[in-house]
Every structure is written in C-alpha cells, then in structure tokens.
Amino acid sequence: MLCEIDNLATLEQFGTKHPKTPVCIRINPHVMAGGNANISVGHIDSKFGISIHQIPHILRIVKNTNMHINGIHMHTGSDILDIEVFLYASEILFDTAKHFKNLDFIDFGSGFKVPYKLGDIETNIEELGKKLSVRFNEFCKTYGKDLTLAFEPGKFLVSEAGYFLAKVNALKQTTSTVFAQVDSGFNHLIRPMFYGSHHDIVNISNLKGRERFYTVVGYICETDTFGNNRRINEISEGDILCFKNAGAYCFSMTSNYNSRYRPAEVLWYNNKAHLIRKRESFDDIIKNQIEVDFSINKG
C-alpha cells in the first residue's frame, strides 16, 4: 500500500501517529504543464502538492516525528508539449530528493501528451526516456543507492485504445449551421465541454462519403457541443458517429445527469466483441432511492 501526503498539516498528524509507516511526499515544483489551466496542476496556485519553498517545513516535521519518507512524487499535469519542461521539473525533484536519506523511489508522475487529431504532436517518449534515464542513473550514483524510477502513464496507454459510439437522432439546418444531434450528451462524454478537449469524430456508417461541415451536439437541455464545424463524411439520420481518444477520462466521468442512463462498454479482443459492462436501465437510476411513508395516523 502506498501512502502519499501533500499537505503539511496532514503530514505532521500522520507522522505523529504512524511514524514507522512509509510515506511518499508529493511536491509542487511550480512548473506549468501544457497550456490548459484545467489540466495543469503544478503551478503556484494549485491545490496539489507541498510547495518546494516549504521544504524546510517538511524537514522539521520529519525530524520531530522521526517518520519514514520512502518516496518523492510530482505530477505537473497533462499534455506536456516540451520534454525539456518535464526534465526541468525533474531536476527540481532530484534536488528535493537529496534531503531524504532513505528513499526507495522517485515518482515523476506523467502528463505525456497523446495525439488528438491527424498531425497532432505528442510527447517524444523515446527521447525523454533516454535523457531522463541518464540523469536518473547519475543521481542514484550521487545518492549512493539504486532507486526505483516510477511513472504513471495511464492516459498515454489507454486514451487511443478507446472509442465512443453514438447514433445520430436528427439533422437540423439553421441559417448558418448544420447540426447533427446524437443520442448522447455531456453526461457520457464531458471532456469537450469541461476541458475544451478535441476528439476526432468519424462517421463510420459512411466512410467513403463526401465531407460536409457539421456541428455535433447532444440531447442535454444545456450546451453540450462535441465539435463545432467539423468536416465529417456526409451524415444521415441513424448513422453511427465514432469519437476517438475515449479510452481515458471518459466513462469514468459519466453521470446520470437529466436522468440519463450510462452506456454499455464493449471490449474488442481477438477480433470479437465482449460486453464488459451492461447498459443502465431506469431501475438502475432509482435503485438507491428510499420510499418514505409521510402519511399521518390520526387515530
């Protein structure tokens, strides 16, 4: 079990009660990852991590409680475009690690960028791996102990492996826009509305059709636009649209907003579809509701 703490008050409380339990400390290196404030968590105003300027406070708590710090961790956010930024933050982590003599690992978090559209840039993992490996091995020699180098590449591994499918319920032509309305909304895929993230949209019912411009919207009674003025092969009612990069932070962020059901999940393995999560029903929506009798017994 990994115990990680990113708050000075919590660190002192835990160290006082459980000094022998190994603890990993999350550091805020004050490095801005990517360009979206919603997914950058290493800046100075972030709620995550203990500021590098508070290292003396951490050392005081560790000394007073005699607690065991076995790991140092950072996560600056997602969509790091330049590996030099990542390497810069890593140097801050190395400098922090020097203050702790019994570490077992250093966790560099993640933030690796995946491509969201044709020609999009992504993190050069090979170059980052070569440069950071050399620097990490140098640090271990100086530290006097071989440490474990840890990463958390979840999104990088699964984002492109997942697709979200939705059926077109209706087409609507206005004075300036052609809307393609699907049987879904931000209750299923909130990232475009929440983060402004881009998900390529492909009409898999008409892969060879001519392209037209569509704005793809959902069925929620609020603005739930998946994509504005996208070039998509001509769409007809009943067509199935495929949203790419749905393998990370998509189903896990679904909700029953507007009393809508969560969709099914299917695993494609060895050229065969396997249902791994069934589609919700009305009974699933109300199963946790409790019937209360408010009738008054007048005797």
Encode pLDDT of 189-230 as tens digits.
999 999 889 999 999 999 999 999 999 999 999 989 999 999
Annotated catalytic sites, by residue?
221
Give the pLDDT band (50/70/90) at residue 35: low
Phi, psi at residue 24, to the nearest 5°?
-100, 135
Q: How many structural domains are present in the chain?
A: 2
Residues 80 and 148 in one domain: yes
Q: Is the pLDDT assigned to residue 38 strictly greater than 50?
A: no
In a domain, 292, yes or no: no
Q: What is the pLDDT of residue 138?
A: 97
Q: Is the pLDDT assigned to residue 39 strictly greater than 70?
A: no
Residues 148 and 24 in one domain: yes
Question: Looking at the DSSP assignment, which residues form a beta bridge with residue 178?
Answer: 173
What confidence tens digit (pLDDT) does each residue in 225-247 have?
999 999 999 999 999 999 999 99
Q: Is the pLDDT assigned to residue 256 strictly greater than 90?
A: yes
Last residue of a domain, one of 135, 157, 179: 157
Residues 104 and 118 in one domain: yes
Cα 221 from Cα 215, distance rounded (Å)? 16
Give the pLDDT band (50/70/90) at residue 46: confident
In a domain, 221, yes or no: yes
Q: Which range is most confident: 83-87, 95-99, 288-292?
A: 95-99
Average pLDDT for the chain: 91
Residues 182 and 254 in one domain: yes
In a domain, 42, yes or no: yes
Residues 22 and 96 in one domain: yes
Structure token pair of residue 118: 């044709």
Domain that holds residue 204: 162-260
Residues 18 and 142 in one domain: yes
Q: What is the pLDDT of residue 84?
A: 86
Q: How far is CA 254 from CA 2, 230, 262, 290, in A?
A: 27, 24, 7, 23
Residues 234 and 153 in one domain: no
Phi, psi at residue 98, to the nearest 5°?
-60, -25
Q: What is the pLDDT of residue 212?
A: 97
Q: What is the pLDDT of residue 288?
A: 92
Structure token pair of residue 218: 């959902």
In a domain, 240, yes or no: yes
Give the pLDDT band (50/70/90) at residue 81: confident
In a domain, 252, yes or no: yes
Cα 61 from Cα 58, distance rounded (Å)? 5
**Cα angle value 223/229/233 (rounded, 5°):** 120
Q: Is the pLDDT assigned to residue 299 strictly greater than 70?
A: no
Residues 168 and 150 in one domain: no
Phi, psi at residue 15, to the nearest 5°?
-65, -35
Residues 69 and 105 in one domain: yes
Mode of pairing for the β-strands spanning 265-269 and 4-5: unpaired
Q: What is the pLDDT of residue 237?
A: 98
Last residue of a domain, one of 106, 140, 157: 157
- In contact, 70 and 114? CB cutoff 8 Å: no
